[in-house]
Amino acid sequence: MLRLAAGIAARSYAVDLVLIKREGAYLDSIPPGVRLVVLNTRRTLNSVAALAGYLRRERPAAMLTALVHVNVGALLASTLSRARTRVIVTEHSQITRNFAALTSRTVKLAYRMVPRVYPLATRVVAVSGGVADDLATFSGMGRDTISVIHNGIVTPELYARAAEPCDHPWLAPGEPPVIMAAGRLAPVKDFAALIRAFADLRARRRARLLILGEGELRGELEKLASDLGVADDVGMPGFYANPYAVMSRASVFVQSSQWEGLPSVLVEAMACGTPVVATDCPGGTREIMDDGRLGILVPMNDDQAMADAILRTLDQPVQTNEMARKVEEFTLDRAVDTYLELALGPQAVRRPLVHPRMAQPEAGVNR
């Protein structure tokens, strides 16, 4: 959402980022031109009332929201405020799977309100067709009432950072090929399956596996690599300041997830020109890879198929010009154009310089 807020602000719109509390990992990353508004509330009901007050005072032209409990709260606040703000709620993940894993009673209640509350939105947006299908099943909404807008992932900055030097010794000229993955070290990413597949591959060919990211499964994954005898060829350096410089030099990028919304790292890898292999999991993976035309899709829970697919990709990578054409669907400019048209109408895209305010609760838009 910060990237989208920055893109809208760059078109000379006034954009507010509305937070319940002044906290979070990205506070230092709020882009220039985006005003931070903090509601300073503790309880969910108080947050709804505070947001309603903000809407009455500021009268934003549109409000863009994300996360189910935030979406529901924003729609309730909009109803209370009686402001004529267009509310666009977005879904970024598989709502049915997220609901099954919930432990918070408050958040569970918000999910249960989705079928009644989401129809109040001006527009409901999913980041992929797979997410839209899942939301339609969960909510009972007609699939044709849910728009699909891909995240704005690809920017000129991504390409510039991909071209920067990379000092990782495994990526020096003459070293064995590096298979790369990135994401939270969490069950949904299923990096254990990737490590098992890599052990199979490593028995047949020299190679190395580099997994960028941090999470609660680090110890288990390190133990698995050791037990399989590949610890010396599996690197997990944690957070990497510039993952794109690594991506652009890796031989293959692998996504091993059990489900996704719209996997940004897969798009980023393709933008970097890196061949991709991915599990054919629920979500947007198949859309990104053009039903397997732009990389091999493998069944989930099939380590052998993943190892074979990586080997085949090392030998016969997809042409980078085909991937480059595909990633044009995921540019920030394209996403900004689409959201502005939804929020303010077609004239907002054609005439980007005389602009009203837009608001984003934990990401939204104001007039």
In this structure, are 140 and 226 located in the same domain?
no
Q: Is the pLDDT of residue 124 over 90?
A: yes
- Count how many residues are written for the chain: 367
In this structure, are 324 and 337 located in the same domain?
no
In this structure, are 320 and 335 located in the same domain?
no
Query: Model's pTM, two decimal places?
Result: 0.89
Distance (Å, rounded) from C-alpha 63 to C-alpha 360?
Answer: 6
pLDDT band at 355 (very low <50, low <70, confident <90, very high): very low
In this structure, are 6 and 109 located in the same domain?
yes
Number of domains in the chain: 2
For residue 186, the domain's CATH number is: 3.40.50.2000
Burial 124-160 (b: 16+ CB within 10 A, else e): bbbbbbbbbbbbbebbebeeeebebbbbbbbbeebee
| pLDDT, mean over the chain | 92
Owning domain of residue 238: 156-328
φ, ψ for residue 66, nearest 5 deg: -145, 160
In this structure, are 164 and 307 located in the same domain?
yes
Tokens of 144: 């044709």
Higher local confidence (pLDDT), 181 or 343: 181
Instruction: Find the largest Cα–Cα distance for the chain.
Output: 66
In this structure, are 139 and 173 located in the same domain?
no
In this structure, are 94 and 181 located in the same domain?
no
In this structure, are 243 and 340 located in the same domain?
no
In this structure, are 61 and 144 located in the same domain?
yes
In this structure, are 322 and 350 located in the same domain?
no
Q: Residues 11-28: what's their mean pLDDT?
A: 88
The percentage of the chain sitting over the pLDDT mark of 90, rounded to a whole number, equals 85
Q: Could you tell me whether strands 296-298 and 234-238 are parallel, antiparallel, or unpaired per DSSP bridges?
A: unpaired
Distance of CA 166 to the CA centre of its chain: 24
